[in-house]
């Protein structure tokens, strides 16, 4: 039977010699003893390949997945949307799946054209002139937007609304520990909208970051956000919901300098959290500060349309440790999927999807508001809403899962008044039927009543 141990004894000894160490024990001295295994792994005896596959299949079937085991009403950044069959048929072709990042543009014209179309679509949605050929996810896009803002303003303080996804804020905080950024937060009012008017803090702000609509579903006033950014001399960074842009004015129209988003709603499966797709757009004046790659259209020596990667010197394949961004693997594939999805929907289909999401969510709001003790928190919304419940949110989520529903995600709101509350963030995408929504509300009412 072949060995799957990656390193031979000889290789291990060579490594230790290069490190000027005597043993593996010395190598692992830096690891906290509390975290180190004090006994041998309790592995079962070897079995056949098919028995292993069967074992893991049985374990996998214990997962409660959206669309099969659970009817999904969860919002908060990842959504259960319809995925057209054409996506798997075209996006799964080997030309796209194996191409990944086109380091040799001359042999990847098809992929480059798809990325060029992707950039064009995202610029139209965001309302900004320059869009790159994607980033890993929405949180990474926000970090890159902040990096751009700091470079453009030569400042290192960030003012971020607590209406931005908390996971995004945590990602920014993680990066800021290594870059020395100072983060300040703007609290929300009773309508779950950011209080831009009463800010009296640091004037040396590089970027004002706001959600649109925000994490809790409220439609923020970007005019007020722009006014505050201008007062501070800061860039306005908008974290937007891409589906909502079909029915709202886009960030570019309302004065954003940089707009970022999570592109998962564009035909990408939930997939337990990834791979996803980061959208990044900005004004033309900041083009040389844009992370990742841009794909441009030109003419070859025969006068035919050709596609090239431009401004690539910031990337890790060119500059290695001096790179300012890291671009590879799934980003290209996910961007191609989003391009196919948006092209398949077209403008009319894109608008129709957003309207169906809004109509379904509005129906859900009307039904849920009739439940005793359940209160709608955000008065403005497109497709995502937050409710205050008379019992613990975690309890509701767990009980609803037992009944076959992914009820939503828990949100913690720190109001400008100093009060902290919990809410249930949920949505009803175009995929949800009236029967599913009625069943959800009926079950929720029973759970709330039994938990009081």
Asked whether 145 and 207 are in contact (CB, 8 A), the reply is: yes
Asked whether 185 and 97 are in contact (CB, 8 A), the reply is: no
pLDDT tens digit string along 293-309?
888 999 989 999 999 88
Q: Which domain holds residue 181?
A: 85-342
Give the residue from 249, 167, 259 showing the smallest Cα distance to 207.
Answer: 259
Q: How many domains does the chain have?
A: 2
pLDDT tens digit string along 366-407?
999 999 999 999 989 999 999 999 999 999 999 999 999 999
Q: Which of 342, 366, 394 is the last residue of a domain?
A: 342
SS3 state of residue 443: helix
Q: Are residues 243 and 127 in the same domain?
A: yes
User: Residue 371: which CATH number?
Assistant: 3.90.1150.10
Q: Which of 342, 371, 400 is the last residue of a domain?
A: 342
Q: Are residues 331 and 437 in the same domain?
A: no
Measured distance CA(309)–CA(301) in Å, rounded: 17
Global pTM value:
0.86
Angle at 333 between CA 329 and CA 339, to 5 degrees: 150
Report how far Cα 10 is from the mean position of its chain's Cα atoms: 44
Q: Are residues 318 and 204 in the same domain?
A: yes
Q: Which of 294, 321, 342 is the last residue of a domain?
A: 342
User: Residue 196: which CATH number?
Assistant: 3.40.640.10
pLDDT tens digit string along 219-247?
999 999 999 999 999 999 999 999 999 99
Domain assignment present for residue 97? The answer is: yes
pLDDT tens digit string along 69-102?
789 999 889 999 999 999 989 988 887 877 665 5
- Cβ neighbours for 226, distance < 8 A, ≥ 6 positions apart: 236, 254, 255, 256
pLDDT tens digit string along 324-367?
666 655 578 899 999 999 999 999 999 999 999 999 999 999 99
Q: Are residues 109 and 156 in the same domain?
A: yes
């Amino acid at each position: 039977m072949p060995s799957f141990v990656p390193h031979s004894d000889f290789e291990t000894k060579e490594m230790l010699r290069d490190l000027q160490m005597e043993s593996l024990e010395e190598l692992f001295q830096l690891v906290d003893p509390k975290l180190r295994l004090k006994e041998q792994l309790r592995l079962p005896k070897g079995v056949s390949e098919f028995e292993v596959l069967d074992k893991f299949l049985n374990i996998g079937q214990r997962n409660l997945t959206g669309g099969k085991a659970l009817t999904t009403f969860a919002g908060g950044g990842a959504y259960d949307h319809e995925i057209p069959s054409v996506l798997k048929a075209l996006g799964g072709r080997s030309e796209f799946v194996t191409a990944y990042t086109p380091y040799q543009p001359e042999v990847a014209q098809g992929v480059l054209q798809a990325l060029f179309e992707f950039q064009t679509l995202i610029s139209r949605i965001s309302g900004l002139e320059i869009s790159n050929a994607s980033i890993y996810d929405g949180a990474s896009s926000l970090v890159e937007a902040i990096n751009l803002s700091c470079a453009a303003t030569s400042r290192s303080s960030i003012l971020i609304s607590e209406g931005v996804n908390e996971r995004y804020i945590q990602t920014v905080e993680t990066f800021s520990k290594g870059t020395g950024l100072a983060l300040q937060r703007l609290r929300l009012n009773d309508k779950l909208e950011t209080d831009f008017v009463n800010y009296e803090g640091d004037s040396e702000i590089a970027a004002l970051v706001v959600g649109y609509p925000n994490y809790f579903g409220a439609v923020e006033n970007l005019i007020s956000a722009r006014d505050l950014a201008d007062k501070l001399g800061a860039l306005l960074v908008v974290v937007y919901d891409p589906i909502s842009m079909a029915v709202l004015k886009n960030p570019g129209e309302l004065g954003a300098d940089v707009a970022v988003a999570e592109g998962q709603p564009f035909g990408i499966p939930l997939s337990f959290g990834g791979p996803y797709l980061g959208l990044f757009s900005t004004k033309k004046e900041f083009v040389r500060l844009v992370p990742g790659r841009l794909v441009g259209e030109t003419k070859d020596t025969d006068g035919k349309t050709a596609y090239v990667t431009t401004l690539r010197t910031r990337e890790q394949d060119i500059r290695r440790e001096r790179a300012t961004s890291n671009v590879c693997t799934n980003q290209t594939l996910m961007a191609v999927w989003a391009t196919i999805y948006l092209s398949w929907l077209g403008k009319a289909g894109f608008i129709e999807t957003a309207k169906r999401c809004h109509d379904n969510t509005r129906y859900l709001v009307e039904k849920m508001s009739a439940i005793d003790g359940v209160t709608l928190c955000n008065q403005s919304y497109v497709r995502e809403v937050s409710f205050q419940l008379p019992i613990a949110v975690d309890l509701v989520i767990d009980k609803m899962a037992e009944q076959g529903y992914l009820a939503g995600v828990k949100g913690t709101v720190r109001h400008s008044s100093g009060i902290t509350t919990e809410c249930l963030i949920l949505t009803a995408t175009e995929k949800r039927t009236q029967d599913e929504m009625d069943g959800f509300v009926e079950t929720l009412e029973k759970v709330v009543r039994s938990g009081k």
